[in-house]
A and B are shown apart, each in its own frame.
Chain A
Amino acid sequence: MSTALVVEDSPTMRQLIVFALRRIRGLEVLEADDGVDALRKLAASKLDIILTDINMPIMDGLKLVKRVRSDEALKGIPIIIITTEGAEEDRQRALALGANAYITKPIQAPQVIAKVKELLKIA
């Protein structure tokens, strides 16, 4: 059993991502409103993958990536960025900070599912 954390300030978008992830058998999904909420959830639960938006209040997705990568206990968790920012420099910046994948909105559920499975190494 693996656990994913969806970090997204838009309830609409969050529901869509959660909806997609629930199709992966054996994957539990937790939700967070922003980066700070995500760090709280990371401290409280053992998480296997993070899917995060970039533009969020309080703490954005890129800061969250930095924090996770600089934390000895969390740095191995795969991170997928899901964002409206489609510019190549945004992608490069996120990947340079340590994100494992970068998906632009509007999302296609099969693409998100495939990437999560790939990073969690599940069939």
Chain B
Amino acid sequence: MSKADDKPDDKGNIPELDLVESKREFIETFFKRGAEFTEELMRENEKLRFRVVQLEEERRLLAASASAPTPTAGAGALRELVARIEQLEAEREGLMSRFAGVERMNHDIYERYHDIERENNNLANLYVASFQLHSTMELRELTQIILEILLNFVGAKTFAIQLVDDDHGKLRTLAAEGVARDRVPQGPVGEGRVGEVIKSGHHYIDGERLRARADLAHLDRPVIVVPLKIRDRVVGVVIIWDLLSQKTALADVDYELFNLLAAHAASALQGAWLAAELKGRAPHLWAAADQV
């Protein structure tokens, strides 16, 4: 009931109040409001509980993140790790590059070692050949040494040593290996391949036939002719028709040996002839040669 209803009427009488009804309404309103208030409190309580749970969760997360590296610290560590990886990569690249350099150097040293070994071997061959060529003044012994050099050092199989007989203008055979001495052609000086070598003073090597190893048995077709010279004068030749089967190609040292024979064998032979003449054992060059 509103207060307007409690106003006195025109006669000044106050309307009779229904007190019971008023009390009832009051109590109802009171309890209704109390219920509403209680409900509101309960909702608020619920909200607060929810908030507490939320805060507790946040606190837990914060605590956890405090004990673990923080996102900022993680990013920093990651950057450090990336930098370290880059540094290690660079170091690895550097080491790989150095390793490749060392490998190249090793390879070069290995190559040089083999070059030196080869050179050493060649020099040993030349030294021994030269030493032996000048180790005797005996024509027979010297001729044997020349044959041995050709057989053992060069690997010649069929070959002969011929000297120029200026008096008769022809070649005479001093010694032969792999073929009977009397079978070796002793033509006039200046004929054929041998004649060309005597005229030019330069080696003749038929590389093609040597490589093919074909047609090597013909005595009129040598594969190698080496002039034996005293200064520029050719006094004889070494003629090779065939090489040992295992000798598949000429090596650098073979050319050096040909040069050595060209220069030293002739002078050694000349010395041996002179020695024989002086001893009176061979009054003539060809007599000495024929005794070989």
Which range holds the interface residue count of chain A? 10 to 19
Nearest 5 CB-CB pairs, A to B? A86-B246, A12-B148, A104-B246, A109-B121, A86-B245
Number of CB contacts from chain A to chain B under 8 A: 55
Q: Measured between C-beta atoms, what is the minimum distance from A69 to chain B in Å? A: 25
Asked if B104 is an interface residue, CB under 8 A from chain A, the answer is: no
A12 touches B149 (CB 8 A): yes
Contact with B along A82-123 (1 / 0, CB 8 A): 001011000000000000000011111110000000000000
Asked if A39 is an interface residue, CB under 8 A from chain B, the answer is: no
Which residues of chain B are near A13, meaning CB under 8 Å?
148, 152
Tell me the nearest residue of chain A to B127, going by C-beta: A19
Q: A19-B128, A109-B120 are in contact. Are A12 and B152 (CB under 8 A)?
A: yes
A106 touches B247 (CB 8 A): yes
- Contacts from B to A (Cβ < 8 Å): 117, 120-121, 124-125, 127-129, 131-132, 145, 148-149, 151-155, 244-247
Give Cα A110–Cα B119 distance, bound, in whole angstroms. Answer: 11
With contacts A19-B128, A107-B152 known, what are 14 further pairs, Cβ within 8 A?
Answer: A11-B145, A12-B129, A12-B153, A13-B152, A16-B124, A16-B125, A19-B127, A20-B121, A84-B151, A86-B244, A86-B245, A87-B245, A106-B154, A109-B117
- Contacts from A to B (Cβ < 8 Å): 10-13, 15-16, 19-20, 84, 86-87, 104-110
Give Cα A107–Cα B251 distance, bound, in whole angstroms. Answer: 12
Give Cα A109–Cα B122 distance, bound, in whole angstroms. Answer: 9
Give Cα A11–Cα B135 distance, bound, in whole angstroms. Answer: 11
Which residues of chain B are near A110, meaning CB under 8 Å?
117, 121
Which residues of chain A are near B148, meaning CB under 8 Å?
10, 12-13
B245 touches A16 (CB 8 A): no
